[in-house]
Structure 1
């Protein structure tokens, strides 16, 4: 498969990652550098020459700058250039490269030493199309999370001279501004220090969870008639909603997507599709509900809320053949597949409708209501369900993360939080491949 010659440009982190995942790097050409993306070509020494102080500073500076400006991506393997008609540099050429020029352990060491606070930066590799006769290799992406307001600002613990040498005892606070990096001035740093001291003297205030649509979950619970039932909710909310999403009801719009879902199995599998229900208009959005088992609500601004009952009709499918079992056991297979199916639907078809970052959330409600819901490590055992199931430890388990935009990775993050509810590590799930859910392993299960 050759890389096409046309370019569409990516207008969000989610879309850019989706192009790399689909091995369509040329679709990224024309994308301008901005507050959320920086492109780097790769000389023989790699994107950053970590054998020099200058290279170490550049890496630390770029990562800290994105953390201070809402998070972003450093995408290595693209040459960027400013065109006469453009305000910013744009990706104009793909330059994939060999993995050997990047040692991710060295990158982690530099960031751990020279950036404060410590950031949960992630590294990802993406393949260039193998059949392209003009180029070969890989693309390297550094994903930088945004720092919460309560932890601002990230700083680099060394300054640097014009000759590219570290200056001991100095530090700097970089901020991504458009396609460039600026630095806090001394008077701004002074003001921040004094503001921080005043805040410390004030009573502590509890932070409000970001993008938490509690009412949407409760409305869906009532619609499904599961007010007294343990329910697992999935929720995805744009961090910066922009009003009504266009094309909700048009040809090829979300209503068509929900009506004709591409699922791993038939509509009778563990997914959000239905063979006899159709999505209904609901206050500018869409509702697809099968009471009392499951339901999915898309609001007018793109927010998605889904609910799956933790009963033998849904999450506990075929798990209570042994009448002597205590509690209501959740099927590992059902839980994993319906989680992946949620993110296959939302990451691929909803997130691209609203530019910017999104927040995914899982909420396990009433899981300790007697009899408590349980989950066991490993695969679902055969009858009579031998194993060591662990009971849920909270009735209101609520956790969120910034959407990654890849279904397998977001499903992994969701399951990681769900497993912790039962005192289990995510590695106890048999359907994983390192940091993602494995579709192939799921499909092996009949």
Structure 2
């Protein structure tokens, strides 16, 4: 079993059914904490205080969530995120909720109305006993963004005076607001003070679940996958006319592609988009797939194998060598994603959007490789570089221009291989050149 929402998870704890929670993935709304002898957070140390403040602020910045203490979570090789795998209830004496509240009050701004709850483990369980401690973190109103931790920390676990950080929940982990984004927000705030009453939007949360849905629908659970995601920063409920004539279902069915349904894009000559939880699912197994959620958020998945991103590159591989990616295929499918989303989906929900790429399992043996320049005609031309991470996850504010957004996606992806984006021959200044791409295939 697994909990699919905060409400369902709390209902399992209330009913003393903690084993029903096992299998729940950590995400933008839940984080599981096992309990060492000193408790979930060792508040006698600067590091423990910082970890508590960081986790609370990150959830506040991501729309709220639960810190659930008393479960051991582990990331499996076949999964993108950690999953609750064992119950570890503990004694209440390990947590002084007053001290927890004091740490949050001292080190998190603005002041958050965090709630603490205890839940009992079933008394008739001969294998475990004790309780579960849950910290419920509310979402910040948009006008109060961002939650800040008023201290940084050194590698040795000591507070840095006169420093601060802005943590953000990023799927099952925590990232930090980049310096460039902090600079932009400060400037936007100054402009807002001088002009009309403006509200800074929160960044779109990293939606992990759609990536899992696509992996399953495409049958590529154990395959390296490149994901594209686009999420409105201010979702407004159901997208109108999803299934109506001329709506998003028709857009996916009759895609305006550069080179037809048999090229490297998101159209399919064999599959049609199907209704899925108020949205749409177009799964062309095992190559690629698209999911459109009910609020308009889009996730695309392309397998990093010879079926798609490594198309016709077998000649460049030697036995068990790394999977070589095709520069042309990678560029075309990236541009086609943003031609589809920027032109047809973003206009459905007003306001800023966040684009994201996630390269999952690219470094797992035998790994994925990418070479500078165009696709080579001989094996050793181009010095292919290996991917350096299994969970490469980066986002940016959508520009709404397909060639510019495709450039941003590839710029982040090339860095995974230790390559500069200028190594891609289809780049023209700060954009992917549609003309160069099409000239290649004349």
Task: Answer yes or no: same fold by TM over 0.5.
Answer: yes
Counterpart of 1:279 in structure 2 is 273
Alignment of 1:428 onto 2:423: yes
* TM-score, structure 1 normalization: 0.56
Counterpart Cα distance in 1 of 2:375 and 2:275: 38
The structural deviation recorded for 1:437 is: 0.2
1:259 and 2:253 are equivalent in the alignment: yes
Q: What per-residue deviation string (whole Å, max 9, x for no partner) do you get for residues 90-126 of structure 1? A: xxxxxxxxxxxxxxxxxxxxxxxxxxxxxxxxxxxxx
Contact 1:175 1:182 in 2 (8 A): no
Instruction: Sort the Cα spacing of 1:425 and 1:149 in 2 relative to 1 into closer, same or farther, 3 A.
Output: closer
Matched, 1:242 2:275: no
Any stretches of 5+ residues in structure 2 without a counterpart? 1-142, 146-177
> What whole-Å deviation, never above 9, does each CA across 1:105-151 have from its counterpart, x for those lacking one?
xxxxxxxxxxxxxxxxxxxxxxxxxxxxxxxxxxxxxxxx9985798
Could you tell me which residue of structure 1 aligns to residue 315 of structure 2?
Answer: 321
Aligned twin of 2:397: 402
Give me the whole-angstrom Cα distance separating, in 1, the residues matched to 2:404 and 2:183.
27
Distance in 2 between residues matched to 1:252 and 1:148, nearest whole Å: 37
Residue by residue over 1:24-47, the C-alpha shift from the partner in whole angstroms, topping out at 9 and shown as x without a partner, is xxxxxxxxxxxxxxxxxxxxxxxx
Aligned to 2:325: 330
After superposition, residues 35-434 of structure 1 pair within 5 angstroms as 148=181, 153-154=186-187, 174-176=190-192, 180=195, 210-324=204-318, 326-384=321-379, 386-434=381-429
SS in 2 for 1:236: strand
Distance 2:307 2:223 in 1: 12
Aligned CA distance change for structure 1 residues 309 and 151 (closer, same or farther; 3 Å): same
Question: Equivalent residue for 1:108?
Answer: none
| Higher RCO (CA 8 Å, separation ≥ 6 residues) | 1
Shift of the 241–315 alpha-carbon distance from structure 1 to 2, 3 Å rule, reads: same
CA distance in 2, matches of 1:433, 1:236: 24
- Cα distance in 2 for residues equivalent to 1:372 and 1:382: 21
CA distance in 2, matches of 1:221, 1:182: 43
Give the gaps of 5 or more residues in structure 1. 1-67, 71-144, 156-172, 184-207
Report the CA distance between 1:258 and its aligned residue.
Answer: 0.6
User: Using the alignment, how far apart are the partners of 1:262 and 1:234 within structure 2?
Assistant: 19
Point out 4+ residue stretches in structure 1 off by more than 4 angstroms: 145-152
Structure 1 residue 351, shift from structure 2 partner:
0.1
**Is the Cα contact below 8 Å between 2:317 and 2:323 reproduced in 1?**
no
Residue 203 of structure 1 is matched in structure 2 by none
**Contact 2:203–2:233 (Cα < 8 Å) also in 1:** no
Q: Deviations over 1:149-204 (max 9, x none)?
A: 7985349xxxxxxxxxxxxxxxxx73426x93589xxxxxxxxxxxxxxxxxxxxx
Which secondary structure does the structure 2 equivalent of 1:233 belong to? strand
Structure 2: distance between partners of 1:209 and 1:405 = 16
Contact 1:294 1:306 survives alignment (8 Å): yes
